[in-house]
Chains A and B, each alone.
With several copies, the nearest count.
Chain A
Amino acid sequence: MPEMTYRDALNLALKEEMRRDPMVVTWGEDVALYEGSFKVTRGLLAEFGEKRVLDTPISENTIVGVAVGAAMAGLRPVAELMTVNFALLAMDQIINHMSKIRYMFAGQTHLPMVIRAPGGGGSQLGAQHSQSLETFFMHAPGIHVAVPATPADAKGLLKAAIRDENPVMFLEHELLYNSKGEVPEDPEFVIPFGKCDVKREGKDVTIVAYSRMTVLALQAASELEKEGISCEVVDLRTLSPLDADTFVVSAAKTGRAVVVEECWRTCGLGAEIASRIYENCFDKLLAPVERVSGLNVPMPYSRKLEKLCIPQVGTIVAAVKKVMNEKY
């Protein structure tokens, strides 16, 4: 299997799906001529032309809404929001329209569309450009939400997203674009939605994570192994549909769980994951579930402060030790 970056894996997925299906089109701010501000759409304009790869005005609500309309009319648009922060300008089309249209029209239409959006913190982009908004999308029914952690997952999940008949929020992590990994070449390599990936097996504690948090969790697990603590790392891969079974079974097995989320802690998705674990493993848990979360503050710019706001390998290690030490 060739090694490639997360960025290139996404790029390949886009290309393969656009080759496969002429109904796949893509647009967004600077995705065509400029090839994307994170270069995920590199080469697309050259290969597919300006009918299928389009630059748009800076009008995020409309970027999403045009995809809604086009999907309703039978295309399979992949719209890029330059970053997920700008999804806040498009919440009307995302939540009021995209997520509800199939339901309120009683299944007479459906929206095979993808909204790609890079996000996450850690690059000193300040409060308005460093958000992790995954919980918003997970909260609203009618949307699928994908959060790939590795290049292979990025490719397989993006292909699945484009083939999905439902609207998908596809959340890429800006700090993962340069990360490398093996990626299957098979153009039919598609990762089904709603299946967690146990990225590391273990027996003492379950770490549930997603996107970049999975990468950190795996690093934490390696460190902890040296201290004799065996962690099972469950990568959610998609937040909707949520494969609770896999992490519940894992937590029931280990009796201890840590959830790692990059978003704000209060009402973050970690609370949902934790609740599912409590609800289903109540009598098997040996300690309360630990939530390792983004701090409940807007993101500060200064690198020194920013680091405190985002889960780090060290904070995950500490949380695991904490649940290991609690005795009931």
Chain B
Amino acid sequence: MDTKLRSILPDHELIRLYEQMVLCREFEEACAEQYTKGNITGFLHLYSGQEAVAAGATHALHGDDYVISAYREHPQAIVRGADPRRVMAELFGKATGICKGKGGSMHLFDPNLHFMGGYAIVGGQFPIATGLAFAARYRREERIVACFFGDGAVNQGTFHEGLNWARLWELPVLYVCENNFYGIGTEVHRSSALADIHKRTCGYDIPSERVDGMDVMAVYQAVKHAAEWVREHSRPYLIEAITYRFRGHSMSDPGKYRASAEVELWKERDPIPNFAKRLLGEGIAGQPLLDKVRETAAAQVAEAVKFAEESPWPDDDEVFNDVYV
């Protein structure tokens, strides 16, 4: 890695990437705390460790590109511009939540941000991503669809159907696989015949590549290039980002299937301090600025928690709304 950061992005964007990763980490850790306190219930899948993917990839997209994801998606919504207060309120089940408390952790959605939803059915987003891309192409829009999913999702039939369909109809879908090596407790080589997920597109004539998902700049550059390719050719492309989740699958998973040495090794590759080091090393930011970033993020998240706590519950009537138009 010898390319200088400044040759890739201007300082303020680099700082912005750092800010986003820190905000996401703070947000997720606050979620864990609120879960322990009982303010958040249900399944809670945290993203800590994977921030470079959400931040780097999203930064490489256009504002009106569609983004669609699975259930580990708080950071993906937040880096897209979702208000952390409303995301936290959603997790609390409050009326001020991004989905009025009706969606919950796994179902964030904001059409204004072109964030087309978190889905809790593994692989459920593939067909929908294909449809979003069809609509974009049908209307001759410039936008593409960035479809995020995990290593476990590639064995669903929908993955295959989606790849074939997107290539056949020449649809602008950028598949971003966050390979964190586990689907709950099952390691990728125990669920996939070919654990090199990017190689799975060979049967569909879809280009693909693997990228270091712990390096925000590597993700940014790969996605930038791929997104432009998809936009230009109106054809799918797949990026496999190698990453790791620092916590269990969800808050109820103690994660015993991973050796602590393995986890520790990956924590040394934490995308946040490593990026901080580069920012410092290349003189893009000084320590005071980085400290400030963390304080600001912490304050923003504290404010989000407060907002969620103080927000009202939905009215009982809300239960019957939105079933039909």
Report if A and B associate in a common complex: yes
A residues with CB within 8 A of B? 25, 29-30, 33-34, 37, 51, 54-59, 61-62, 64-75, 77, 85-86, 89, 92-93, 96-97, 101-110, 123-129, 141-142, 144, 165-166, 295-298, 300-305, 308-309
Nearest residue, chain A, Cβ from B193? A57
Contact with A along B1-26 (1 / 0, CB 8 A): 00000000000000000000000000
Choose from A59, A68, A108 the contact partner of B111 (Cβ within 8 Å). Answer: A108
Q: Which 4 A-B pairs have the closest CB atoms?
A: A65-B127, A69-B131, A301-B104, A34-B185
* Assembled-state Cα–Cα distance A142/B116 (Å): 19
Instruction: Kindly list chain B residues whose C-beta atoms are within 8 Å of the C-beta of A66.
Output: 127-128, 130-131, 134, 165
Contacts of B128 in A (CB 8 A): 65-66, 68-69, 72, 97
Whether A300 pairs with B102 at a CB distance below 8 angstroms is yes
Within 8 A of A (CB), among B78-115: 90, 93-94, 97, 99-107, 109-111
Q: Which residues of B are found within 8 Å of A302, using beta-carbon distances?
A: 93-94, 97, 100-102, 104, 313-314
Question: CA separation between A105 and B157, bound complex, in Å?
Answer: 25
Q: Which chain B residues lie closer than 8 Å to A141 at the CB level?
A: 323
The count of residues in chain B whose C-beta lies closer than 8 Å to any C-beta of chain A is 72
A50 CB to closest chain B CB (Å) equals 10
**Which of chain B's residues have a CB closer than 8 A to the CB of A298?**
323
Among B133, B153, B184, B319, contact of A295 (Cβ-Cβ < 8 Å): B319
**Pick from A61, A93, A124, A297: contact of B104, CB under 8 Å:** A124
The answer to whether the Cβ of B158 comes within 8 Å of any Cβ in the partner chain is yes
Q: Which of A70, A109, A110, A141 has the most CB of B within 10 A?
A: A70
Q: Which of A57, A69, A71 contacts B129 (CB 8 A)?
A: A69
B49: A residues at CB distance < 8 A:
none
- The residue that B99 contacts in the complex, of A55, A106, A296, with Cβ under 8 A, is A106
Quick check: B127 and A93 within 8 Å, CB to CB? yes
Which B-chain residue is minimally distant from A142 (CB atoms)?
Answer: B323
Evaluate contact between A301 and B101: CB separation under 8 angstroms. Answer: yes
Q: How many angstroms between the C-alpha atoms of A65 and B133 in the bound complex?
A: 12
In the bound complex, how far is the Cα of B182 from the Cα of A30, in angstroms?
11
Contact (Cβ within 8 A) A305 B99: no
Besides A29-B186, A57-B161, A302-B97, 17 more A-B contacts (Cβ < 8 Å) are A29-B184, A57-B155, A57-B168, A58-B155, A59-B157, A68-B131, A72-B131, A74-B139, A89-B156, A92-B158, A103-B102, A105-B107, A106-B322, A124-B42, A128-B124, A296-B323, A305-B93
Q: Is B121 part of the contact surface with A, judged by Cβ < 8 Å?
A: yes
The smallest C-beta distance from A33 to any residue of chain B, in angstroms, reads 6
Answer whether A34 and B111 are a contact pair too, CB < 8 Å, given A85-B121, A165-B325: no
Binary interface encoding of chain B residues 232-274 relative to chain A, with 1 for a CB under 8 A from any of its CBs, else 0? 0000000000000000000000000100000000000000000
Query: Knowing A72-B131, A107-B322, A297-B319 touch, does A128 contact B119 (C-beta < 8 A)?
Result: yes
Contacts of A70 in B (CB 8 A): 131-132, 134-135, 138
Output the residue of A70, A77, A302 with the most chain B CB within 10 A: A302
Could you write out 18 A-B pairs with CB less than 8 Å apart?
A25-B138, A30-B185, A54-B169, A56-B191, A58-B183, A59-B155, A62-B165, A69-B131, A72-B116, A73-B135, A75-B135, A85-B121, A96-B124, A141-B323, A302-B104, A305-B316, A305-B319, A309-B319
A-contact bits for B143-181, CB 8 A (1 contact / 0 none): 000000000110111100110110011000000000000
B274-325: which have CB < 8 Å to A?
Answer: 313-314, 316, 318-325
Is B122 among interface residues, defined by CB-CB distance under 8 A? yes
- Measured CA separation A127–B136 after assembly (Å): 28
Q: Are A105 and B138 in contact, CB atoms less than 8 angstroms apart?
A: no
